[in-house]
Structure 1
Amino acid sequence: MNHVDSIIHKAELQCKAHGARLTVKRKQVLAGLIQSKKALSAYELINFCKERYGEVIPAMSVYRILEFLKEENLVHKLNLANKYVVCAHISCDHAHATPQFLICQKCSKVKEISVKLATITELQQSVQEAGFKLTSPQLEMNCLCDDCLAQAA
């Protein structure tokens, strides 16, 4: 079983445990995100499925699939870019922490890291003191990856 199939199998088990089903088209969209080194838009996923599987999936269907995958904690939506990435912890059996996404502003590579609970608690407190309510603790940061930094040097 290759890397992509292994992750999809784990995702299937996770969905089954919640009474949900990972259909063929859902697997295809998820495979596109697993294989990508960067975040993808719904339209980039439509192109991936067309090129890879010969499937033309309508945009509304891809958005519904992405929403399903997000609800199952298999993918994350990057709000700043309006794109999606596969969850880095699909294959893990531990509880997931609050994700932080490091996004290379040059090549668009994305890395998911976890934020310590104490940091999120402190951030939430600062937000409340400023007179706001935090609706999502997910953090997205514009960065430069090591590869792009090395190319610039």
Structure 2
Amino acid sequence: MQIFEAIIGHVEKRCEAKGKRLTTQRKLVLRALIDANQALSAYELVDYCKQYFGETIQAMSVYRILEFLEEVHLVHKLNMSNKYIVCSHIVEGHEQGIPQFLICSKCNKISEKIVAPETITGLQSHARQEGFTVVSPQLEINCVCDKCGQ
């Protein structure tokens, strides 16, 4: 609980510095993602808040909250699964780069790393050469973690 409060205190200051507000419901959704320690869909968040915190929150509210949390770089949307995960850099004040997610296809363990800008530039250049425009440079790579591989 103390770790969550420290994270929320830091996040509130970051939001205030950007002219944004971390409302009670936004804190609830963020707390659920931190507490769950795994990627959750909006409907899984509704269930999680009800089951673990005794709080009822509407799915449409969760979607709006997730949009806000993504906008202020506190969570990431995993496009392959349509789920959300807390940014692993949530307490760091630096601007975010392009995230790469290694996702275990067996246990859903996720590791987030920031991709070097030159790697993304190279990928975008290659896409342009092939007649494509990169819409979202976020990388999501299906893997098997060492634990599941044994």
TM-score, length-normalised on structure 1? 0.93
Structure 1 residue runs without a partner (length 5+): none
Q: Tell me the residue number matched to 2:33.
A: 33
Separation in 2, partners of 1:136, 1:47: 29
Letter matched to residue 87 of structure 2: C
Letter matched to residue 120 of structure 1: I
Q: Indicate the SS of the match to 2:14.
A: helix
Q: Tell me the residue number matched to 2:120.
A: 120
Separation in 2, partners of 1:37, 1:102: 15
Q: Tell me the residue number matched to 1:144.
A: 144
Structure 2 residue runs without a partner (length 5+): none
Q: CA deviation at 1:55?
A: 1.2
Q: CA deviation at 1:92?
A: 0.9
Is 1:106 equivalent to 2:106 in the alignment? yes
Q: Deviations over 1:102-145 (max 9, x none)?
A: 11101111111111111111101001001011111100011111
Separation in 2, partners of 1:35, 1:121: 35
Q: Deviations over 1:63-108 (max 9, x none)?
A: 0110010111110000110000001111112332210011110111
Count residues with an aligned counterpart.
150
Separation in 2, partners of 1:145, 1:110: 9
Separation in 1, partners of 2:63, 2:93: 27
Tell me the percent identity: 55
Separation in 2, partners of 1:2, 1:133: 44
Separation in 2, partners of 1:94, 1:61: 28
Q: CA RMSD in A?
A: 1.2
Letter matched to residue 139 of structure 1: L
Q: CA deviation at 1:24?
A: 1.0
Separation in 1, partners of 2:6, 2:59: 27
Q: CA deviation at 1:52?
A: 2.3
Residue pair 2:99, 2:114 contacting (<8 A) in 1 also: yes
Q: CA deviation at 1:36?
A: 2.4
Q: CA deviation at 1:5?
A: 1.5
Instruction: Say which is worse superposed, 45-54 or 79-88, in terms of deviation.
Output: 45-54
Separation in 2, partners of 1:51, 1:137: 35
Q: Indicate the SS of the match to 1:57.
A: coil
